[in-house]
Amino acid sequence: MGSTVLSLRMDGELLDRLRERAARLGMSVQDYVTGTLVRDDFDERFRAAVDETEKFYGVTGRD
């Protein structure tokens, strides 16, 4: 799998917070942001799969 460059413009305060969080985890800002995006994408795809499964089995609501 190849990689592509994504350029972001962000507020200085946000970048500082990201640097702090990444440092606490022993990660680079790039790795931290990438991991966050991958996790969010997985959560969204998982939620969609659960919804489709519930439709298939006729489940009508969540508690």
Q: What is the mean pLDDT of residues 33-50?
A: 92
d(CA 27, CA 19): 9
Give the pLDDT score at 62.
Answer: 59
**61: burial class by Cβ within 10 Å (0-12, 13-18, 19+)?**
exposed
pLDDT score of 17 = 97
- Rg of the Cα trace of the chain? 17
pLDDT at 36 over 90: yes
User: Rounded to an integer, what distance in angstroms lies between the CA atom of residue 23 and that of residue 29?
Assistant: 8
Give, rounded to a whole angstrom, the gap between the first and last alpha carbons of the chain.
40
In the prediction, which pLDDT does 59 show? 79
Residue with the larger pLDDT of the pair 6 and 19? 19
pLDDT in tens, 43-58: 999 999 999 999 999 8
